[in-house]
Amino acid sequence: MKAFKIKFGLIALTAGILLGVSSCSYESSNATGWNYNDPENGGFERVLYSEQETGPGLILIEGGTFTMGATEQMVMKDWNNIPRRVTVSSFYMDETEVTNVYWLEYLYWLKRVYGADYPEIYRKALPDTLVWRSRLAYNEPYVDYYLRHPAYNDYPVVGVNWLQANDFCAWRSDRVNEAILIREGLFEHFPQQINEDHFDTDAYLAGQYESGKRVDGLSDLDPDKEFRNVRMEDGILLPRYRLPTEAEWEFAAYGLVGNSFQELITERKVYPWNGHYVRDGDNNSRFYGQLVGNFVRGKGDYMGVAGSLNDNADVTAPVYAYQPNDYGLYNMAGNVSEWVMDVYRPLSAEDMEEFRPFRGNVYKTKVLDSEGAIDDKLTVVTYDVDGVNQYIKAFDEETQGKLSPEEAQLMENLNSFCEQAVERMNEGKDDEAYTLVRDAIQAIRTSDVRIAPELLSGVGDFVENTPGNVRMRNVRPEENIDRDNYRIADNIDYKDGDFNSSINYTAPNSGEVSMYDYGNTTLVSNRARVYKGGSWRDRAYYLSPGTRRYMDERKATATIGFRCAMDRVGSPVGFNQSR
């Protein structure tokens, strides 16, 4: 937050240049000789820009090359993490895990904006507090209090699945950019936002959000116009918050910036701290001999002995507990494991690029209208059609023979709606498919049968887009006819999971479409997401950043949280450190 305030002067300077350009002298283009920022030349603007502003809660992670992968024996015998040299670009990362109070702030905003008309959006964001339950342990206090009691405000949020974590990142991006525009005097505080009339960065850039504006905009140097909205070219708005990639997370966790001298890494790390042990080894430290992370020390030992609690935590600990690593990041080992962006594959080490490695690309583009302009932003909720269909079918199977005639009739109607929606989606008639799903949900809302609340809660998990968002779609193959670097939108299966990488690649009529038989011989699928680091419930082995595990993106546990990242644009180093 400190950096967010300090760098105000740079943004104010940029805005000042745009609001009033001196008529005395202009910088000219070395390409054409025409003046920049000159209304008489048409008003093309070149912004005086210094460095990217550091968003709230973030720390700059200077990138570089490192050996990614296992740093010790793979005791689980997965052999899914062979060491290899990769390069990670500079980026930003949260200094701590996202906390309960951050999540409560998010829930409050969702309830205030969507609660009256779209309660399913709020319900989708609720963490699963039942993840604390164990059939042979008394954990009900955590079920009741961990999320909402102020005693746990600064503890990491858990019970959040991968999809929920991504939704939080998107919401945070918009709230931070809205705060920047308010700070720059371009917007007023506008707490009356509701449904589609709320600030969304993409909608604002597309000229589809005007509520709460304090002034007409920045002075436009185009002689045919008077004012304009802030553009990405102004350098005022920040890039999106997102989850870090697996490579970024692992690189940041090691903090090798503290172990290097003139491109020589003087000591390879097993953990985010120096040494091959899990206790403070500094003879001059008052914490000498104490554990440096929150993890299970031994069988049945989660917190140490009364009177001298070694890690001072029974489950999770406050996010600022323990010493940070050399980047200033807290709890990169222990406390909670953390979601990253990547889709899991056992052969990731062999398949992915050496520069900014990542598996999980699904390329999207904004939906355009018939005139080629960005289509109007959404005014309704859209749902994952396949997800809703699968959920309704699973619910129907689980309740066979247990329903009243009225409930059975409702399920029959819902199945009909969903099957038609899937057909429309397969025909490319997305809007018709979304309408059919909304009709199905309306049928649930207007029903007074016993199972209606359960069904509403279940389908709420499949909200895909919310009112106020710009419409997006997957890139189509016909748009990439002349491309060599990619052809299709969904590249999750590329080289590992698609038909061409299966044992049936020579038999196109075999009927097989994937090399992974999910649910029968494997739990690997395109929904399997990587999570990194050890948690309060893990042994020391998982504290090494090189370890990797995976779980379905729709599932959550009491041991997994997350932190956000952000792209670094321009120079890979910080203010006044260009080389």
Domain containing residue 137: CATH number: 3.90.1580.10
* DSSP secondary structure code for residue 243 in this structure: P
Does residue 157 carry a pLDDT above 90? yes
Count of C-beta atoms within a 10 Å radius of residue 123:
18
Same-domain check for residues 341 and 243: yes
Query: Does residue 502 sit within a domain?
Result: no
Last residue of a domain, one of 443, 465, 487: 465
Token pair for 138: 């008394």
Q: Of the ranges 68-77, 81-90, 252-261, 361-370, which one carries the lowest mean pLDDT score? A: 68-77
Alpha helices in 294-429 (DSSP H): 348-351, 385-398, 405-426
Of 453, 425, 441, nearest in space to 381 by CA: 441
The vertex-433 CA angle with 523 and 456, nearest 5°, equals 65
Q: Of the ranges 96-110, 270-284, 382-396, 457-471, which one carries the lowest mean pLDDT score? A: 270-284
Instruction: List beta partners, residue 289.
Output: none
Of 339, 184, 326, nearest in space to 246 by CA: 339
Q: 184-220: per-residue pLDDT in tens?
A: 999 988 888 999 999 999 999 999 998 988 888 888 8
Amino acid letter for position 257:
V
Last residue of a domain, one of 465, 485, 511: 465
pLDDT at 509: 64
Query: Does residue 422 sit within a domain?
Result: yes
d(Cα 86, Cα 8) in Å, to the nearest integer? 35
Mean per-residue pLDDT for 48-53? 88
Query: Does residue 548 sit within a domain?
Result: yes
Does residue 7 carry a pLDDT above 70? no
Does residue 520 carry a pLDDT above 50? yes
Does residue 150 carry a pLDDT above 80? yes
Same-domain check for residues 255 and 140: yes
Last residue of a domain, one of 465, 493, 514: 465
**Do the beta carbons of residue 573 and residue 90 sit within 8 Å?**
yes
Q: Give the chain's mean pLDDT.
A: 89
Query: Does residue 504 sit within a domain?
Result: no
CA-based end-to-end distance of the chain: 27
Residue entry with tokens 């960005």: 374
pLDDT at 440: 94
Q: Of the ranges 150-154, 229-233, 506-510, 554-558, which one carries the lowest mean pLDDT score? A: 506-510
Residues 6+ away with beta carbon under 8 Å from 264: none
Diameter of the chain by CA atoms? Answer: 84
d(Cα 168, Cα 166) in Å, to the nearest integer? 5
pLDDT at 236: 94
Residues 6+ away with beta carbon under 8 Å from 361: 486, 491, 492
**Do the beta carbons of residue 227 and residue 219 sit within 8 Å?**
yes
Q: Of the ranges 461-465, 468-472, 575-579, which one carries the lowest mean pLDDT score? A: 575-579
pLDDT at 344: 95
**569: confidence class by pLDDT, cuts 50, 70, 90:** very high
Amino acid letter for position 400:
Q
DSSP for 186-233, please give it.
SB---TT-BTTBS--HHHHHTT---TTBSSS-EEP-STT-SEE---GG
Same-domain check for residues 261 and 357: yes
Same-domain check for residues 349 and 393: no
pLDDT at 544: 92
- The CA-atom distances, in angstroms, between 281 and each of 204, 275, 287, 313 are 52, 8, 9, 21
d(Cα 135, Cα 289) in Å, to the nearest integer? 36
Of 532, 503, 138, nearest in space to 339 by CA: 532
d(Cα 458, Cα 395) in Å, to the nearest integer? 9
pLDDT at 20: 45
d(Cα 434, Cα 363) in Å, to the nearest integer? 21
pLDDT at 575: 57
Same-domain check for residues 410 and 528: no
Domain count, the chain: 2
**289: confidence class by pLDDT, cuts 50, 70, 90:** confident
Amino acid letter for position 573:
V
Mean per-residue pLDDT for 262-273? 82
Same-domain check for residues 137 and 80: yes
The 3-state secondary structure of 317-347, one letter per residue: CCCCCCCCCCCCCCCCCCCCEEEEEEECCCC
d(Cα 348, Cα 2) in Å, to the nearest integer? 38
Mean per-residue pLDDT for 436-440? 94
Q: 301-343: per-residue pLDDT in tens?
A: 998 888 877 777 899 999 999 999 999 999 999 999 999 999 9
Q: 469-514: per-residue pLDDT in tens?
A: 999 999 999 999 999 999 899 999 998 888 778 777 777 665 556 7
Does residue 21 carry a pLDDT above 50? no
pLDDT at 24: 53
Mean per-residue pLDDT for 62-77? 84
pLDDT at 512: 57
CA 352 to chain centroid, in Å, comes to 20
Mean per-residue pLDDT for 348-355? 90
Same-domain check for residues 259 and 336: yes
Token pair for 530: 């990587």
Mean per-residue pLDDT for 531-547? 94
**Do the beta carbons of residue 421 and residue 441 sit within 8 Å?**
no
Same-domain check for residues 404 and 356: no
Amino acid letter for position 416:
S
Same-domain check for residues 149 and 247: yes
pLDDT at 60: 95
pLDDT at 167: 97
Count of C-beta atoms within a 10 Å radius of residue 86:
20
Mean per-residue pLDDT for 398-424? 93
Residues of the domain holding 457: 382-465
Mean per-residue pLDDT for 565-569? 96
d(Cα 516, Cα 121) in Å, to the nearest integer? 33
Rounded to 5, what percent of the chain is helix, strand, coil?
30, 15, 55
